Chain A
Amino acid sequence: MHRDLGRYIYGYVICAAFALFLFSPILWTLSTSLKQPTEMFQWPPVIVGEPSIQHYTAIIADKDFSSALINSIVVSCSTIVVTMALSVPAAFGISHLQKTSMRRLLTLVLALRAAPAMIYIIPYFLFFRQVDLVDTKIALIIVNTMFAIPLAIWYLSSFFDQVPREIEEAAIIDGASTLQVMTLISIPIARSGILATAILVFIGSWNEFLFALTLTRDNAKTAAVAILNFMPFEGTDWGKAAAACVLMLVPIVVFVPFVKKYVAGSTTTGSVKG
């Protein structure tokens, strides 16, 4: 069967077709971001003429976009910190509960993620308006944390499950407290899983659009929303928009290889949905 020609024809044809479908829009954006304005709407279209980084320098110099980029970084990193501070102990605890209560809690955590994110938008908007937190990073951090916790607990508890119980018990016999076991033994052993979870939390927060759109105006706008500045009602500046898209993709492309095993589960159980 391994010599079967059908296997090779199918494999290569399908891979080529999907590579074209999945990557060509992104490559086209990359190419647009490097084009001179005169090449942009040339017929027939060109992939690259004389590459220029003028759009990148322009959007970095653009105060609105660069401050939004900083907001995105601040919000995403703060979301990681808050989410992990809440989820690591919770996941450690859940992983050491009895089987039935553990399953019940995990099911609850997952079920909470079934509702589409849109259902939360009106109450959160009214709440943050009431407490005067609209257009602040704090509001976004709270919302992103809320969406990240189920995902984080789900993954972290499975990582804590993999920590050998014998080591933890040995420490207990030596007189360690629960907190000491967690901080001195289990967290160091599970650190690569914790890092992977942090990256997934970062991606979810970095990509978040709906709440950043409705809960911010000017001060706390994140890059995912500020990118629309380059697409006003008339006359989109495609060079800048494309360059902004490419910049937004940089952390994703850098981080995803580290978490590719977990991405499938994360978008289906954790990330922010419309």
Chain B
Amino acid sequence: MAYSRLNVSWALVTPAIGFLCLATFVPIAAVVALSFVDFNIAFPGKTTFIGIYNYTRFLSDGRFINAAFVTFALVVMPVALQLLCGLALALALKEKLIGTRWMRAASLLPSVVPPAVGGIVWKLFVIPGVGGLSYFASFFGHNFDADLLGGKASALATVIIVSVWFGVPIVALLLLSSLDSIPGEIYEAASLDGASWAQAQRYISIPLVLPAMGAVAVFQALEVLGIFPVIFVLTGGGPAGATEPLNFYAFLTAFTYLDLDYAASILVAFTATIVGACFWFVRRISAGRVGG
């Protein structure tokens, strides 16, 4: 080893990694343990082991089942739309046309907005009749005054769109860096063969960026439920639970209803499912790459 003379003592690495492991594994072990006991925050001495009882409660809890469906919708729809819109934007940004280069940097803005601020910004934007949306609709001669957050389907659609708003810039940036790494010669060769710009995108850019999209999808699937603050501010999970994913339901169960052990079991199930699904997907795409 060329660098063996530099005596790296584990003392440099241990404090950070030690703190990280302590601050990560202990709490996760605690949550798992909590999900198997009957725990009342007012009488912590009376904690008793109840096995998988909390997990059996899922089956008869209509609100849990609803939240599971909402979780599915709030992962699949936003990620799919983010990939689609992100690809569309990345293909446009790749061209570096005059007057669009600033978009490369500026389009990042929504992704770094504090999520709570994003929630307020959108709530203000969709106020029925007098919000920004109504203002823009008035340009097209529309008198738009629907209460988007009032109906179940429209509230869910609004949350999905806000989720896309947060995620598209990141997805576009990741796909753009993948597009930028495609050698220019390929496009030149296609051009000499008489391919139009649209054909070059269809037969060169999109197929070559496709493998990167799988990894981006996994990142975003883990990321997308981070819009908890947005839901908290925008809809509060309503109307009638239409925008209440499992992490939001668990939060309310823990801190509004103080049913901490049940909340812990929801979180364990939720985390295991999300992380498990992502690992399965990662293994699938990496296996596909080896095979193909």
Interface residues of A (CB under 8 A from B): 1-2, 4, 6-8, 10-12, 14-15, 18-29, 32, 40-47, 86-87, 89-90, 92-94, 96-98, 105, 108-109, 112, 114-127, 142, 145-146, 149-150, 153, 165, 168-169, 172-173, 178, 181-182, 203, 206-207, 209-210, 213-214, 224-225, 227-228, 231, 238, 241-242, 245, 248-249, 252-253, 256-257, 260, 263-264, 267-269, 271-274
Contacts and interface: CB of A to CB of B under 8 A. Distances in A.
Contacts of A25: 121-122, 124-125, 132, 165
A40 B132 CA distance: 11
B61 interface: no
Given A118-B228, A150-B20, A26 B109 contact: yes
A125 B39 CA distance: 14
A6 B89 contact: no
B124 A238 contact: yes
Given A115-B275, A120-B24, A169-B2, 4 more contacts: A126-B30, A209-B228, A271-B226, A273-B223
Given A121-B251, A263-B112, A45 B131 contact: yes
A240 to B, nearest CB: 11
Nearest to A27: B132
Interface residues of B, number: 106
B1 interface: yes
Nearest to B135: A45
B105 A260 contact: yes
Interface stretch (B5-13, B52-60, B146-154, B284-292): B5-13
Contact of B247 (A97, A252, A274): A274
Contact of A118 (B136, B190, B251): B251
Contact of B109 (A23, A42, A213): A23
Interface string B1-28: 1110111111011011101110110111
Contacts of A231: 120, 123, 233
B91 A272 contact: no
B223 A245 contact: no
Contacts of B109: 22-23, 26, 252-253, 256
Contacts of A274: 115, 225-229, 247
Contacts of B12: 89-90, 92-93, 178, 182
The interface residues of chain A, by DSSP majority, are classed as helix
B40 to A, nearest CB: 12
A14 B91 contact: yes
6 contacts: A18-B107, A20-B136, A165-B2, A231-B123, A231-B233, A273-B225
Interface of B: 1-3, 5-10, 12-13, 15-17, 19-21, 23-24, 26-28, 30-31, 34, 41, 85, 88-89, 91-93, 95, 97, 99-100, 103, 105-117, 120-125, 127, 129-132, 134-136, 138, 165, 168-170, 173-174, 177, 187, 190-191, 195-198, 200, 219-220, 222-223, 225-229, 232-233, 247, 250-251, 254-255, 260, 263-264, 267-268, 270-271, 274-275, 278
Contact of B20 (A112, A116, A252): A112
A32 B124 CA distance: 9
Contact of B132 (A24, A98, A122): A24
Q: Which 10 A-B pairs have the closest CB atoms?
A: A274-B228, A28-B132, A90-B16, A93-B12, A123-B27, A14-B92, A4-B197, A273-B226, A207-B114, A1-B191
